[in-house]
A and B are shown apart, each in its own frame.
Chain A
Amino acid sequence: MTEVRISHLTKSFGAGPVVDALSLTIGHGEFVSLLGPSGCGKTTTLRMIAGFEDADSGVIAFDGSDVSRVPAEKRDIGMVFQNYALFPHMTVAQNLAFGLEMRKIPAAEIRTRIARVLDMVQLGTMTERYPSQLSGGQQQRVALARAIVIEPRILLLDEPLANLDAKLREEMRVFIRDIQRRVGITTVYVTHDQAEALSMSDRVVVMFGGRIAQTGAPADIYDRPATRQVAGFVGQVNVIEGVVETASGEGGHVRLPFGTIEAPRIGAATPGARVALALRPEAVSLVPPAGAGWQGRVVSRHYGGNLVDYRVAMADGTVIHAQTFPTTQFEPGAEVGVHADAARLWPLGD
């Protein structure tokens, strides 16, 4: 097992830094996801860890030793590529044997290791097939097997599930995480799919424009986003703005354009200050109209099976996004009472 320590890593391709003074430590056996929109520098970061790209400045260290001068082939890394990058002229067995041959492992041991790993990815019968004779999901598993059969110090995965259909993608999430736990390997997983990052990772690193916006456990990122940008990128969110009327302890009474609310946390805001509060759609429930509380009118409804998605226009025109279980449903145009779970309000920084 290996600890990866990245400090002040910077890289630019001509105009402006693509990775900007990025610092991050990934612990022994930890599963860390780099999550961010397209072009935010995730792949570039991964390629620098792998040794395919030289950093302009900054240090990458494995278990305390700087690897900046170590070429890719000497870093002992297993990498899974978005398009799998299986060698088309080699069978599954030959693909898996490649890395072991490079390590001068005796043929007999190569065979047993390949058999063991192929068993793990449930492809034991496919050894003699060429990649072109496999389905997308099978190719994906061969790529994973090829990366772990060499028992690398670190496993790097670059959007490995992006080319699979939704159902398979969910299966593979569980599958990859399960194997990672069993092998106990330090893993960096790149994705722009927040559901993937949240469901698989020990820790999620949210990146924008080459910088880390927030690092934390999946629940931290989702329930306690640091900024509007993080809140908006990781799942859906209502950002409601108001003015603090009274503060007490951590919380306070906040006046909104369409009502008031008792927020348990308002950050550093003092009475009179403006605050922005994040409210997840599933923390909003709709009830039949009552005299007290927030009132609104359903603008649209989208049925999603397990959840129903509503847009509700409040008195001042603000549109609130609500997700509720489909047990009671409201027609578009209906007047409704809007109830927000105050415990789920979270103050956002800029």
Chain B
Amino acid sequence: MATGKRRSATLLLIAPAALVLLVFLVIPYVNIVIMSFRPPGEGAPYGVGFTLANYRKFFSDSFYMLQVLNTLWIGFVVTLSCLLIGFPVAWQLARGESRLRPLYYSIVLAPLLVGIVIRSYGWTVLLGNNGVINRTLMGWGVTDGPLPLMYNGLGICIALTHVLLPFMVLPIMSAIQGIDPSLEAAARSLGASRAVAFRRVLLPLARPGIQTGSILVFVLAISAYVTPALIGGLRVKTMAVTVVDALIDTFQWPFGSALALVLSVVGATCVIVFARLTRMRWKVA
């Protein structure tokens, strides 16, 4: 039958993607879930039998809970600052009349073209106690000693904001490009000031882009490893850094798996709550 044929064609078409997902996402995830219930092993990734000890360890030590909260807080701050910085940029890119727009566009994209390690290393050069910013400030006599810009949450937030900005700008830009400019004119002809037209018409219509950008940035921020590891050093650790520490430095694979899972669940919950709260109540055919 025709539909049967079409269905098997569809299956064939999605098969490669499904295979990739299965091999590289589902199987490792299942593996991590299983591993998180294993006892630690001697000379092996994990021991025999199953246990809840890894989760008990996590929930009984407020150190880890605080770290989760700290990670979420960093994710929140980075998302907010990307939004505040990125929205005007996206607006300018989408609506600006400057002939330099292609240049601005490539400046926004530039961070994506340089490897993340190099970018983060660049920030250590800028933010360090002996870095460009502090030396300049002290050279001008603005400050006596170096400002604490590195090895703390502030430094991580600054660097992550820069690294993740394109992920906020691009979706918002394309959302704004999809808004008919005459809608603003229509709102104003009906008596709305620029500010009211922005709030009542443009902002709601740009919301899908804001939502996408925020989710992308938040998820990438709480799971980022390289930037927090380089900027935070040994003093400030995010969950992702702790997970890797557990896996690589101390070989606690089962405990590391449990940490990773908690981070995933908490992150996913935040995203779902956020998506629900900002859900669109109208549809465009």
Contact = CB atoms under 8 A, between A and B. Distances in A.
B57 interface: no
A72 interface: yes
Interface string A116-146: 0000000000000010110000000000001
Contacts of B204: 89
A78 interface: yes
Contact of B284 (A74, A77, A99, A132): A132
A189 to B, nearest CB: 16
B198 to A, nearest CB: 12
B189 interface: yes
Interface residues of A, number: 32
A85 interface: yes
A72 B185 contact: yes
Contact of B282 (A47, A76, A88, A103): A88
B282 A130 contact: yes
B14 interface: no
Contacts of A78: 189
A208 to B, nearest CB: 25
Interface string B182-225: 11011111111100100011001100000000000000000000
A336 interface: no
A51 B283 CA distance: 32
Contacts of B282: 88-90, 130
Interface string A127-168: 000101100000000000011001000001000000000000
Contact of B185 (A71, A74, A85, A132): A85
Interface residues of B, number: 22
Given A85-B180, A85-B182, A85-B185, A102 B283 contact: no
A266 to B, nearest CB: 48
A124 to B, nearest CB: 21
B155 to A, nearest CB: 40
B211 to A, nearest CB: 14
B285 interface: yes
B208 to A, nearest CB: 11
A89 B205 contact: yes
Contacts of A89: 201, 204-205, 280, 282
A50 B189 CA distance: 7
B188 A81 contact: no
A301 B280 CA distance: 59
Contacts of B185: 47, 50, 52, 72, 79, 81, 85
Contacts of A103: 191
Contacts of A156: 189
Interface in B248-285: 280, 282-285
24 contacts: A50-B185, A72-B185, A72-B189, A73-B188, A75-B189, A79-B185, A79-B186, A79-B189, A83-B180, A85-B182, A87-B187, A88-B205, A89-B201, A89-B204, A89-B280, A98-B190, A98-B192, A98-B200, A103-B191, A130-B284, A132-B284, A133-B285, A146-B186, A150-B190
Interface of A: 47, 50-52, 71-79, 81, 83, 85-90, 98-99, 102-103, 130, 132-133, 146-147, 150, 156
Interface of B: 180, 182-183, 185-193, 196, 200-201, 204-205, 280, 282-285
Given A52-B189, A89-B205, 18 more contacts: A50-B185, A72-B185, A72-B188, A72-B189, A73-B188, A78-B189, A79-B186, A81-B185, A85-B182, A87-B201, A88-B205, A89-B201, A90-B282, A102-B196, A103-B191, A130-B285, A132-B283, A132-B284
